[in-house]
Amino acid sequence: IHVSKEEGDGVGYDIRAWDKDEKELHIEVKASKGRYSDGFEITRNEIEASKNKDYPYIIYRVYNLDIENRNCSIEIYQGETFKLEATKFIVYKK
C-alpha cells in the first residue's frame, strides 16, 4: 500500500507491505538521481516511525535513478544503526 498517497505524507514511511509470513513492514524510500552517497535526509516523522518496534522499518536507498531508461541502483537498510547529524533548523520569533 502506498501509504504516503493513501493516508498522507505524515505517517513516517512510504509503503506498508507484508512479508511471506504476513508480518507487516514499513518501508521508506529515499531516491536521488545522483550517485550513491552515504548521507541522505530524513524527517522527524520518519525517525519516530523507525523507532516503532512493532513493525520492521526498512529504508530503500534508490540512487543513480534514470527515469527515462527505467534504471537505478538500490541499497536496502534494515536494522541498521545510523549517526544523525542536524543540518537544518527552523527559527521562530520568541
Q: What is the pLDDT of residues 38-55, one digit of tens each?
A: 678 899 899 999 999 999
What order do you get walking across the sheet with 57-66 strand by strand? 15-18, 24-31, 57-66, 71-78
Mean pLDDT, rounded, of the chain: 90
The C-alpha torsion from 23 through 28 and 34 to 35, rounded to 10°, is -40
Report, as an integer, the average pLDDT of 18-32: 94
Residue 36 has pLDDT above 80, yes or no: no
Q: How confident is the model at residue 19 (pLDDT cuts 50, 70, 90)?
A: very high
Check residue 10 and give its pLDDT. 86
Q: Measured between alpha carbons, how far apart are the two ends of the chain, in Å?
A: 41
Set of cell numbers at residue 8: 498522507
Q: What is the mean pLDDT of residues 44-69?
A: 92
If pLDDT is split at 50, 70 and 90, which confidence band does 85 have? Answer: confident
